[in-house]
Structures are given as structure tokens and as C-alpha cells.
Amino acid sequence: MKKKFFLTVCTGLVITISGCGVSTINPNYTSSNTDLMRIGGDKPTNKEAEVVNMGSYCLKVSEKWKADGKTPDGQTIWTMDSLRQATPCQ
């Protein structure tokens, strides 16, 4: 019984020590798709809402930019919200 307890404690210590020894991964605040996220600068301009004909129905698509936090160096993170709403075709 003492051997199991000792082995469990030793295993826990090894896992804890090895976890603390691993270097931290630095966050990457870049996006290859700037249509969805941008870092820093002024707020991007919002597109006008558009109606897209999908065949048997239409969609009204609205896209708006919003500030969604800051990077550690103080730059604003801009993300795009997209709203799709079914609407009658004209």
C-alpha cells in the first residue's frame, strides 16, 4: 500500500515539474483572413446590408465590425459580426 502511494506521489511530482519546465507559447495576433479579424488601427468600415437571391428564398446579409478586446501591447482587436436573415425576394 505504501509503495502505491509513494509511486503515485512521485508520478504527480514528475508531471508537475515537467509541466512547469515547458516554455509558454507566445500568442500570435495575426490573421491570414483580414475579412474576419484585424489588429490595431481605426475601426474598419461596415458594408451596406445586401439581399442575396438563394433561388427559392432571399437572404439579407449584414456585416458589422466591433472591438473585441486588446492585445497585450494595447492594440484593438477588430472582429466582424455577420447576420443573415431570411427575407422575401423582390
The stretches in the chain having pLDDT less than 50 are none
The closest of 63, 66, 62, 70 to 87, measured between CA atoms, is 62
Note the pLDDT of residue 64: 93
Note the pLDDT of residue 22: 62
Note the pLDDT of residue 39: 86
The closest of 32, 44, 28, 41 to 79, measured between CA atoms, is 44
**Domain spanning 37-90: CATH 3.30.1040:** yes
b (16+ CB within 10 A) / e for 55-77 = eeebeebebebeeeeeeeeeeeb
Residue-wise pLDDT for 10-31, tens only, equals 787 777 776 666 666 666 666 6
Note the pLDDT of residue 53: 92
